[in-house]
Amino acid sequence: MTRYWWKVLAVLILLYTIIAGLTIQIPMIGTNAESSRGLFFHVPMWIAMYTLFTISVVNSLLYLVKYDLKRDVAASSAANVGTFFGVLGFATGTLWATYTWGSTLPTDPKQMSTALALFIYMAYLVLRMSIQDIDKRARISAVFNVFAFALLIPLTYIIPRMVDSLHPGAGNTPGFSKDDTDHHMMMVFYPAMVGWALLGVWLYSLQMRYRKLELKNIFGNDRP
């Protein structure tokens, strides 16, 4: 049972996030109003995405050093789950934008650059499906994964901060920290980041278990 404590913790934190996130009193900040509750879901899903993409690129780098096929499996599994959370984060962001900005897909630079980053990772997944040779697929996709991660941070964090954006805390749009004087939102937001990240790692571990079985069926006893 002690092996699964972090899974129990993930469930408890996410239950707390959902219940508290939908019921606590929050400050009415600018045009956000009640839609500010999206902070408990939208941003933590990005944190889960960053966590998994980091796991993915680390395993790709280790593959390029050791040429251990298990590292390739770990990299692709983490990228799969990371892209899933990226799509969830983008979807919750567009829902939030619909109520706050009056448009689901406005020409906001942060939203557009984030969409580009997700398309790059989707291209990584498509690339893997298009190459049949296992070793060739592992080598090419590992290099592409490093390239994708090198663009991830500039596209989703650095470039959006260099231009005016509709996002809270950017440009003339008010942020959350200075108006959340009682810190009610942060009491949910910080645990939410941990909870969604743990859920992402949990899904990644399940994906890894499946892929290891698949790998065993392909190589038999020749490779671990």
Q: Which domain holds residue 115?
A: 35-218
pLDDT score of 109: 78
pLDDT at 180: 55
Q: What integer pLDDT is reported at residue 217 of this predicted model? A: 60
Note the pLDDT of residue 130. 94
**Predicted local confidence at residue 47, as pLDDT:** 94
In a domain, 22, yes or no: no
Q: What is the pLDDT of residue 176?
A: 60
In SS3 terms, 125-162 reads as: HHHHHHCCCHHHHHHHHHHHHHHHHHHHHHHHHHHHHH
Residue 19, in any domain of the structure: no
Q: Does residue 224 lie in a domain region?
A: no
pTM for this structure?
0.86
The first and second tokens of residue 107, run together, are 């020409």
Cβ atoms of 75 and 125 within 8 Å: the answer is: no
Contact 200, 82 (CB under 8 A): yes
Identify whether 29 is part of a domain.
no
pLDDT value, residue 87: 95
Q: Is 15 a domain residue?
A: no
Q: Return phi, psi of residue 25, to 5°.
A: -80, 130
Query: What is the model's pLDDT at position 29?
Result: 66
Structurally, the chain folds into a number of domains equal to: 1
> Is there a domain that residue 16 lies in?
no
Q: Which residues of 93-129 are buried (b: 16+ CB within 10 A; e: fewer)?
A: bbebbeebbeeeeeebbbbebbbebbebbeebeeebe
What is the pLDDT, as a whole number, of residue 158?
A: 80
Residue 140 lies in a domain: yes
Instruction: State how far the Cα of 43 lies from the Cα of 211, in Å rounded to an integer.
Output: 29
Is 7 contained in some domain?
A: no
> Mean pLDDT for each consecutive 10-residue tract of the chain (224 residues)?
82 94 77 76 93 97 92 94 95 81 71 91 95 92 96 85 64 55 77 95 92 68 46
